[in-house]
Amino acid sequence: MNAYCVKEKKSREIASPKEVTFRNGRHAVRGKCSSCGTTLFRITGK
Ligand SMILES: [Zn+2]
């Protein structure tokens, strides 16, 4: 799964992704950029 890395301004693969749920009920996947280690989020839209 890929997400946009704001640090590198490129789409990067998410390392060790975990599903999280926000307080508003939205689901997302959180992990780390496989390239630079920045925390990445991807809204999964459920
Ligand atoms: Zn990165």
CA of 38 to the centre of ligand 1 (A): 6
Q: How far is CA 5 from CA 24, 30, 37, in A?
A: 24, 12, 10
pTM recorded for the entire structure: 0.78
CA of 19 to the centre of ligand 1 (A): 19
- How much of the chain, in percent, has pLDDT values that exceed 90? 89
- What is the number of domains present in the chain? 1
Q: How many angstroms does the Cα of residue 21 sit away from the middle of ligand 1? A: 23
Q: Which residue has the tokens 């939205």?
A: 26
What is the pLDDT, as a whole number, of residue 45? 74
The residue segments making up the domain with residue 38 are: 2-43
Distance 7 CA to ligand 1 centre (A): 6
13 CA distance to ligand 1 middle (Å): 9
